[in-house]
Amino acid sequence: MRSSANVAPPKLLDAARFRGEVDGEAVALYTLRNSRGMVACITNYGAKIEQILVPGRDGQLTDVVLGYDSLEAAVEGSASMGAFIGRYAGRIGNAAFTLDGVHHQLAANNGTHCLHGGKRGSRFRVFKAVQRSDSSVEMGCRFEDGEEGFPGALILRLTYSLTDANELVLDYEARALDQPTVASFTTHAFFNLNGESADGSQRDVRSHEVMIAANQYFATTGDLVATGELLDVAGTAFDFRQPVLLGERMRTDAGAGSIEGYDHCYLTSRAAGDAPVLAARVRARAAGRVMEVWSTEPALQFYTGLQAGEPLLGGPGKSGRVYLQQQSLCLEPQGYPNAPNCPAFPSSVHLPGESRRGKTLYRFMG
């Protein structure tokens, strides 16, 4: 385990730097704390997680997510970073689907496809927010009928909370109001368990060990749209049923058993009932830190970026450096990708008056 001597603790984000307006709506930063010293800072612009401070075995805090230190930086930065994603997570092929015999053309913002809800998905929206306690904040937004081409109005309610087990918990509920619509949500934090400001090889995601509880992954087209087919992970570079050091898999030679990076969705193992189940576990060996991902969602997008060293969009992050692909990883529990265009997948339709609930939690140890 790397010594923490002479390593300055991370600075808590300044809430004053997030006060402002976007599209005439007030923005703020909400700071959550538990009894063990864990802190999470979340802005209602995109419901974005900007900072998670986790105590190590020595009690020293480490910031384990990438993010920004002001509202201006968050607006100009990588749009998905830390955001809660909706109305539909992932890509909807050709930005279109048919529901009850009616064709719906969506906003295309990823080539010809609709990604993460389109040009004005929730990652660009200001949520209404109320902090109910020192350890929780409630947020919500409304998607209008026809917005980004989606039918029907939909209300989303979201609660972030910290537990004394050092868990960041997301509880969310969506309710269709006036007509059937489709929806799928996820959370898009970028994690580096060695620390957002880690240097050298520890800043590289290859230093992380990953387990994903999945026997199958979703086949995609060349531009990463789910086809409706499921493939077995056995014998492939997508097999994480046992822990794998990413540096042993992610290689530029792209030979047998290796891959340049990940942007792939897994069908995770399920248990009976509605309780969250373990979807993934990540360990940073040098830091001695472990993160588990538990969720009620059936799928998990694993993202490292496919082009090592390519800058993410936007300016510098909290460390003062521009973030690069493969300096972090995302584990995004969600519904079936491209389900509106894949009849074999479970339905993503929300009926009027119907509420759908989900829960995802990130548990930190070490």
Q: Which two tokens stand for residue 180?
A: 């059937």
Q: Contact, 116 vs 187, CB < 8 A? A: no
- The radius of gyration of the chain from alpha carbons, rounded to an integer in Å, stands at 19
State the catalytic residue, choosing from 50, 196, 292, 332.
Answer: 332
Geometric angle at alpha carbon 337, from 336 and 338, rounded to 5°: 120
| Known catalytic residue at 264 | no
Q: What is the DSSP letter of 313?
A: S
Beta bridge partners, 326, equal: none
188 is catalytic: yes
Of these residues, 113, 188, 208, 350, which one is catalytic? Answer: 188
Q: Is 31 helix (H, G, I), strand (E, B) or coil?
A: strand
Enter the DSSP assignment of 200. G
The residues pairing with 266 across neighbouring beta strands, listed in sequence order, are 217, 300
Look up residue 79 and give its two tokens.
């749009």
> Both tokens of residue 123?
């990652």
Structure tokens at 86: 């909706």
**Residues with active-site annotation:** 188, 332
